[in-house]
């Protein structure tokens, strides 16, 4: 039986003042996990700093990035941050990385050689995984070279690295190089196909991804779908009705989660499309928490 776990993301525009007590509140409410997006040109907290604060103010809550951008960052520095967090909060750090920012205007903040973002991503992931798994790493690639790097103690439980993205190349990359997948704006049928494609790519690479390492980020817009959410859904899954990609009520949220569970997914991030987080959390606990096992 798949272990079903359902976490939440803060409302869009949640700045440091609103975020300060959020993690402790979620832990008190029994929420499994908190997920932070990388949106630089916004009031939202930086995901790594937000993770640090959330982990420091709780003892059980898991905290993840959903998603952070890896190409354009040096993987040694990223590995050092993750190892530090995992050492301070064992088994509660859930990194998910993506190829490019959700907002094109932020692409220049993560510089890579022109036309080589995918290649940098592949090499960054390869080096990052080695740094997280080996005591000493020497690596000579096209973009990164390190010799005899030691970053300190590694956590007793291996730190998994998940990826986002739904393009065929992204799914193949997940199968070849990652430990799990967090999709978004996917119908249950699309998510099933993505899971199968990832598992196929992993098998071709001589790897296996654990069956409960497939998840989905789902927005709930029970007060009408905001135009920016409609536009995002159209970009990610052209031609698919927005109601198949975004939950327009809490019963619909439950139905979509149940259908994705049937498609083989087991980890979920529920995102509020509106700013009434009190109402959101109450409905989340009533409608979705009972699906956990």
**Around 217, how many Cα atoms within 13 Å sit in the side-chain half-sphere?**
26
Interatomic CA distance for residues 118 and 101, integer angstroms: 13
What whole-number distance in Å separates Cα of residue 263 and Cα of residue 136? 40
Q: How many CA atoms lie within 13 A of 137 on its CB side?
A: 24
Distant-in-sequence, close-in-space partners of 104: CB < 8 Å, separation ≥ 6 = none
The pLDDT mean for the chain works out to 97
Neighbours of 208 (CB within 10 A): 10
| Percent of the chain predicted with pLDDT > 90 | 98
CATH class name, domain 5-291: alpha beta
What average pLDDT does range 185-208 have in this prediction? 98
- Res 1 pLDDT > 90: no
For residue range 103-156, list pLDDT tens digits in order: 999 999 999 999 999 999 999 999 999 999 999 999 999 999 999 999 999 998
Per-residue pLDDT reduced to its tens digit, 208-264 = 999 999 999 999 999 999 999 999 999 999 999 999 999 999 999 999 999 999 999
In this prediction, residue 59 has a pLDDT band, given cuts at 50, 70 and 90, of very high
Q: Calculate ∠ Cα 216-219-220, nearest 5°.
A: 130
> Contact at 8 Å (CB) between 94 and 109?
no
- What CA–CA distance (Å, rounded) separates 138 from 127? 9
Rounded to whole angstroms, the Cα distance separating 211 from 77 reads 30
The per-residue pLDDT for range 3-35, each reduced to its tens digit, is 999 999 999 999 999 999 999 999 999 999 999
> Which pLDDT does position 167 carry in this prediction?
96
**Residue 55: predicted pLDDT:** 98
Domain boundaries defined on the chain: 5-291
Is the distance from CB of 213 to CB of 180 less than 8 angstroms? yes
């Amino acid at each position: 039986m798949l272990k079903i776990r359902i976490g939440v993301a803060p409302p869009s525009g949640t700045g440091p003042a609103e975020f300060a007590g959020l993690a402790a509140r979620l832990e008190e409410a029994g929420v499994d996990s908190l997920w932070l997006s990388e949106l630089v040109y916004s009031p939202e907290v930086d995901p790594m700093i937000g993770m640090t604060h959330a982990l420091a103010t709780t003892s059980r809550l898991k905290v993840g990035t959903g998603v952070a951008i890896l190409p354009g960052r040096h993987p040694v520095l990223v590995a050092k941050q993750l190892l530090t967090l995992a050492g301070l909060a064992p088994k509660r750090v859930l990194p998910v990385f993506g190829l490019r920012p959700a907002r094109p205007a932020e692409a220049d903040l993560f510089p890579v050689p022109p036309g080589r973002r995918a290649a940098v991503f592949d090499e960054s992931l390869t080096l990052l995984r080695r740094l997280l798994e080996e005591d000493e790493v020497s690596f000579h690639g096209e973009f990164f070279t390190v010799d005899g790097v030691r970053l300190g103690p590694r956590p007793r439980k291996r730190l998994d690295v998940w990826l986002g993205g739904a393009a065929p190349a992204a799914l193949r990359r997940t199968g070849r190089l990652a430990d799990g997948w967090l999709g978004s704006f996917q119908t249950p049928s699309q998510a099933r196909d993505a899971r199968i494609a990832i598992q196929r790519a992993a098998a071709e690479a001589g790897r296996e991804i654990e069956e409960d390492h497939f998840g989905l980020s789902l927005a709930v817009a029970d007060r009408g779908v905001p135009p920016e959410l409609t536009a995002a859904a159209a970009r990610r899954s052209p031609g698919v009705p927005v109601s198949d990609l975004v939950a327009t009520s809490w019963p619909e949220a439950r139905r979509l989660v149940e259908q994705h569970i049937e498609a083989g997914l087991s980890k979920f991030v529920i995102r509020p499309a509106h700013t009434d987080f009190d109402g959101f959390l109450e409905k989340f606990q009533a409608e979705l928490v009972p699906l956990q096992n």
